[in-house]
A and B are shown apart, each in its own frame.
Chain A
Amino acid sequence: MIEFKDVTKYYKSNIGLENVSVKIDKGDFLFLVGPSGAGKSTFIKLILKEIDADSGSITFGDKDITKLSNRDIPKLRRGIGIVFQDFRLLPKKTVFENVAFAMQIVHCTKRTIRRQVPQVLALVGIENKADKYPDELSAGEQQRVAIARAIVNNPTVLIADEPTGNLDPDTAWGIMRLLENINSRGTTIVMVTHAKDIVDKMAKRVVAIENGHIVRDEFGTYGYENDSRGIDEEGALGKYGQ
């Protein structure tokens, strides 16, 4: 599904990733863990082709995305759903519109949108909030809208960047069950997190990155002391985009 082969990315003054090779299979549920600045964001940005690798190859499906032209980036991203710690919903659009917006971008017809959005909202468990605005929702509900938006176009991979970082434990578990549900329908999930309890209890594959290297790749536990869920400059506002 996604395969990194000897991928290296240096920034001006530090290492992003160095000789990283890893394979993510279709249907995997993978936690990406590690200290801040270890290279988790670089990993995700490379998959999204927000940045280019200095060397090595990254295949997505059957394509080497390091050779992808800028024009084909939108097509790549349509196969990837992404969810952020801070939700990133459009405040002036309703829940329905926030999700529909992702479908407009890929030129869906109004009919398809009207049929599909309620289905996805039902899947994430907020079918009765379609007409609300984001600020009328709880944090957990907002994250569900963000997830709905991310999966509405049926991506093969869902990348979740600290999706529970801003949520209380109970709500966080709700989101995790939802992600597990989505994963059970065949969507590959890559989740960046600092939440030890979640990683430990879920018992999924864990890839740990430190100083640009993969130091551990196994099924099991978080492997670090609990470093207060959500306090991670990397995942904070404004790190992506621009």
Chain B
Amino acid sequence: MVSSILYAIKEAFLQVGRNKGMSLASIFSITAMLLILGVFFAFIVNVNVAMEGAKQEYDTVQIYLLNDTDETSVRQMLDTLNALPEVKEAVYLPKEEALEQWKSQWGDSGYLLDSLAENPLPNAIVVNVQDLAGADAVVAKAKTFEGVEDILYYKETVEKLISITDSVKIATMIMMIFLVIVSIVVVSNTIKLTVQARGREIEIMKYVGATNWFIRGPFLVEGILIGLFSSAISCGIVALIYSKVIELVGDDLLLIIGIPLVPFEFLTTNLAVIFIALGVSIGAAGSVFSMRRYLDT
């Protein structure tokens, strides 16, 4: 067993060496494939994180209360809302506090709000829902309360965000599947050439009584090696590009849309794991496919 594995690894390195041109060609093609995938991945992860952030921001129901609503009824409302299974947390936000929040959001220009003669904001109850689907129930419940001035809920915005996120996710999946298939075809073609060149050897091996796995071993390792090389190279390139992007536009993006880019370490470690898994499986699948015809007994 161990000797067969060692034999396969040794043979695979010999094959890649003997077959430098083709091995390089397929490493290049898969690297290119993974690069596209990687850039796409970086983009998607950022879009996703931004979406999640935005969703959380809009993921609340705000209940504005009439000024004369007394404390007991507010407490009653809070209890009723918190008892709902859809509600994560309902809190009371007095208008003074709301004004403070507003001021801090305006930052340096917050002093402008000091000139307000009277606080224009209403007292409010802010409800965080467990999940968006439950928001309607919360709104319906709130409508039955006395002393409610208005109920604000960004339902459409949130729904739009969800549908955009979903289509982006589906598009990514399709793109990924497509690229993976192309890569498998490329690897399997490369290995097919090696297999053809060694067709006679394989034939003789079969006559002498080699098992299919013994014959397949070196080619499998060859495919995995090609996949590993490609994933290492493309991961490095994507990391480089991403670090440049952060350096160049990271701060501007934060300023304009208020959402930071996904940190470099997080993105690259995830990318490395995904690429290695993909590279290895593309290589392995490619070699197994290319050998199928030769091993049918």
Chain A positions within 8 Å of B, measured between CB atoms, are 48-50, 70-71, 73-80, 82, 88, 90, 101-102, 104-107, 109, 149, 153, 240-242
Contact = CB atoms under 8 A, between A and B. Distances in A.
B204 A77 contact: no
Contacts of B205: 101, 105
B129 to A, nearest CB: 58
Nearest to B211: A74
A105 B203 contact: no
A85 B4 CA distance: 30
Interface residues of B, number: 18
A107 B4 contact: yes
Interface in B260-297: 297
Given A50-B297, A70-B297, A90 B201 contact: yes
B208 A153 contact: yes
A177 to B, nearest CB: 24
Contacts of A73: 297
A241 B209 contact: no
A88 B200 contact: yes
Contacts of B168: none
Given A50-B297, A105-B214, A107-B4, A88 B209 contact: no
Contacts of B211: 71, 74
Given A104-B7, A107-B3, A74 B209 contact: yes
B206 interface: yes
B210 interface: yes
Contact of B207 (A77, A79, A107, A109): A77
Contacts of B209: 74-80, 105-106, 153
A35 to B, nearest CB: 25
A149 B214 CA distance: 18
6 contacts: A49-B297, A50-B297, A74-B210, A76-B209, A77-B208, A90-B204
A189 to B, nearest CB: 16
A77 B7 contact: no
Given A50-B297, A104-B7, A149 B208 contact: yes
Contacts of B4: 107
Nearest to A107: B3
Contacts, number: 53
B256 to A, nearest CB: 63
Interface of B: 3-4, 7, 199-201, 203-212, 214, 297
A70 B297 CA distance: 7
Contacts of B208: 77-78, 101-102, 105-106, 149, 153
A58 B4 CA distance: 32
A159 to B, nearest CB: 9
A49 B208 CA distance: 13
A48 B209 CA distance: 10
B203 A241 contact: yes
Nearest to A89: B204
Contacts of B297: 49-50, 70, 73
A79 B207 CA distance: 10
Contacts of A102: 208
Contacts of A149: 208
Given A241-B206, A241-B207, 4 more contacts: A77-B208, A82-B207, A90-B200, A149-B208
A77 B206 contact: yes
Q: Max chain A CB contacts within 10 Å: which of B208, B210, B297?
A: B208
Nearest to B199: A241
A18 to B, nearest CB: 24
Closest 10 CB pairs of A and B: A78-B209, A241-B203, A77-B209, A105-B210, A74-B209, A102-B208, A74-B211, A82-B207, A105-B208, A90-B201
B19 to A, nearest CB: 13
A105 B209 CA distance: 7
A61 to B, nearest CB: 14
Contacts of B201: 90
A90 B203 CA distance: 11
Contacts of B199: 241
A241 B198 CA distance: 13
B210 A88 contact: no
Contacts of B203: 88, 240-242
Q: Max chain A CB contacts within 10 Å: which of B4, B7, B203, B210?
A: B210
A241 B210 CA distance: 13
Q: Max chain A CB contacts within 10 Å: which of B3, B4, B209?
A: B209
A60 to B, nearest CB: 13
Nearest to A70: B297
B227 to A, nearest CB: 26
A82 to B, nearest CB: 5
Nearest to B205: A105
Contacts of B200: 88, 90
Contacts of A240: 203, 207
A216 to B, nearest CB: 29
